Amino acid sequence: MEPNKQWMELINDRIADAYIDGVENFLDYAFTRLGEPRLIRCPCIKCGNATSRTRPMVRSHLIVHGIIPSYTLWYHHGESSGPCESRKGKKVRGLNICKKVLRLKPGEKLRVTFYQNRVVGMNHASFTRHLGLLVRDRSMCPLRVHSWLDIEEHKLDHMWKAVTDKFVCDNMNDQKEHVLQHMRRLWNNWRGSLHKNVKSKSLHRVLKDVPAGVHKSDWEWLVKEHFLSDKFKEASTRNSINRSKVTMPHRTGSKPYREIIYGLGGKDGNPPDMATLFFETRKKDDELVEPETIEKYAEIQKLVQSDPSLTNIEVIEKCFGPQRKSHVVGFGGGITAKELKGGNSSKAALLEELKTTKKEKESLQKRMDILESKYERLERIVLGQPSSPPPEFED
């Protein structure tokens, strides 16, 4: 049964009995659905579901600060479906709910593995779903901006904290830039899907048909100030023309590129050659069906066989031309030609060298401190002053 949420509309009258009773009912619902944990995420305007607190603290924050008005689907608190239940007899995909993350206990995290700047292997689907939820969360990621670059730094830090609260890896902080870039891509894709609601409709109809999960005021701003701006319409028309020229599908299947590369040898440091990768990412029932795809595959095969020393990026640029965008043919988003040519590896090597130098410096400083302490002790002994025992040296 769907919980009653009418009390959320009384956010400007938080001392009303109906609002306070609604808060108590919300807390009962959340703690019951989540298995009576000690802490739950606080959905107040100040915390924005990024901080976990006790029941009394959440109650206090919801009354003092108010609940996030757009948080109408309580997915952080055990609700798995929205007001519209799936119709009987019709199977649908459903909402983007990450149950594995919802079931985590306070302080518990899912371990992930990064490969070529993205998560692969176990928990990669949960990780991506979680990022998708965050970029759609109005309290986390604003809609009233023209581009991702307009989002303030403290909001990006807020989103990053929401990621590290639920996921961990050996070098998590080193992945911040890559994760935020992935979120940027998901956010742009979502905004693109929202734009589909604007095409071939009157302005009155567009403003009336507010997409699920989007606040009405945000939707009006997005339509009037962004989608209907001359700059956006010009870019949209240009992108539509470019897409119409593409005859060969970008890829087929739902498995991410990195997952395919990782499973075909990347995990052991032996990724597949370009011919294998091209085939695996475009096959349908173990065969290629598009004429241009078949032609390109034959070209790649011939090139790989004639010169096995060519790297994947060299094969791609010989067959498809220079790769200057944010993605490379056959590798998906987030991988650039510069990285495949060694730019990213050089940066990683420099960072590793810097870390090693820092550790050596700290070790030398510790030795210097101990030597100075021993010298001071020896000086006291010579002068006949009492001294404290020397500290033990730990290598």
Query: Measured between alpha carbons, how far is 272 from 269 in angstroms, rounded to an integer?
Result: 10
pLDDT of residue 379: 73
Measure the CA–CA gap between 375 and 87, rounded to whole angstroms: 81
Domain of residue 185: give its range. Answer: 101-242
pLDDT-derived band at 300, boundaries 50, 70, 90: very high
> Do both 236 and 116 map to the same domain?
yes
- Same domain, yes or no, for 171 and 120? yes
Quickly count: other Cβ atoms within 10 Å of residue 243's Cβ. 9
The answer as to whether 388 is a domain residue is: no
> What's the confidence (pLDDT) of residue 249?
63
Q: Are residues 123 and 160 in the same domain?
A: yes
Residue 91 lies inside a defined structural domain of this protein: no
Q: Say yes or no: 140 and 262 in one domain.
A: no
Given this model, what pLDDT does residue 93 score?
Answer: 46
Give yes or no for residue 48 having a pLDDT over 90.
no
Tens digit of pLDDT for each residue in 253-273?
A: 667 888 888 888 888 888 888
| Per-residue confidence (pLDDT) for residue 161, from 0 to 100 | 92
pLDDT confidence of residue 258: 84
> Looking at the domain assignment, is residue 47 inside a domain?
yes
Residue 374 within any structural domain of the chain: no
Q: Among the listed ranges 145-149, 264-268, 316-320, 321-325, which one has the minimum average pLDDT value? A: 321-325
The confidence band for 328, taking pLDDT boundaries of 50, 70 and 90, is confident
Question: What CA–CA distances, in Å, run from 352 to 95, 113, 223, 355?
Answer: 41, 18, 46, 5
Instruction: Determine the pLDDT at residue 94.
Output: 46
| Residues 233 and 128 grouped into a single domain | yes
* Residue 223 DSSP code: I
- Give the pLDDT score at 231: 92
Among 24, 43, 77, give the residue marking a domain's end: 77
E strands, 51-198, where?
Answer: 52-53, 110-111, 113-115, 118-120, 167-168
- Provide the token pair at 318: 């010989």
Is residue 247 one of the residues assigned to a domain? no
Q: Give domain status of residue 197, yes or no.
A: yes
The answer to whether 44 and 8 are in contact (CB under 8 A) is: no
Q: Is the same domain home to 122 and 229? A: yes
Calculate Rg over the CA atoms of the chain: 27
Please compute the mean of the pLDDT values over residues 128-136 and round it to a whole number.
Answer: 91
pLDDT at 85: 41
pLDDT for 96: 53
Q: Are 212 and 329 contained in the same domain?
A: no
- Residue 284 counted as domain residue: yes
pLDDT at position 84 over 70: no
Distance CA 228, CA 223 (A): 6
| pLDDT tens digits, 246-257 | 666 666 666 788
Chain-centroid distance, C-alpha 123: 13
Condensed to tens digits (0 to 9), the pLDDT of residues 3-42 reads: 889 899 888 888 889 999 999 999 999 888 888 788 888 9
The count of domains in the chain is 3
181 and 57, same domain (yes or no): no
- Give pTM, 2 decimals: 0.62
pLDDT digits (tens, 9 = 90+) for 159-212: 999 999 999 998 898 999 999 999 998 999 999 989 988 887 888 989 988 887
Nearest-CA neighbor of 166 among 190, 141, 136, 133?
133
Report the 10 Å Cβ neighbour count for 365. 10
Residue 281 counted as domain residue: yes
One domain for residues 148 and 220:
yes
pLDDT tier, 387 (very low <50, low <70, confident <90, very high otherwise)? low
Q: Which of 15-19, 126-130, 212-216 has the lowest mean pLDDT?
A: 212-216
**What's the DSSP call for residue 280?**
H
Cβ burial, residue 137 (10 Å; 0-12/13-18/19+): buried
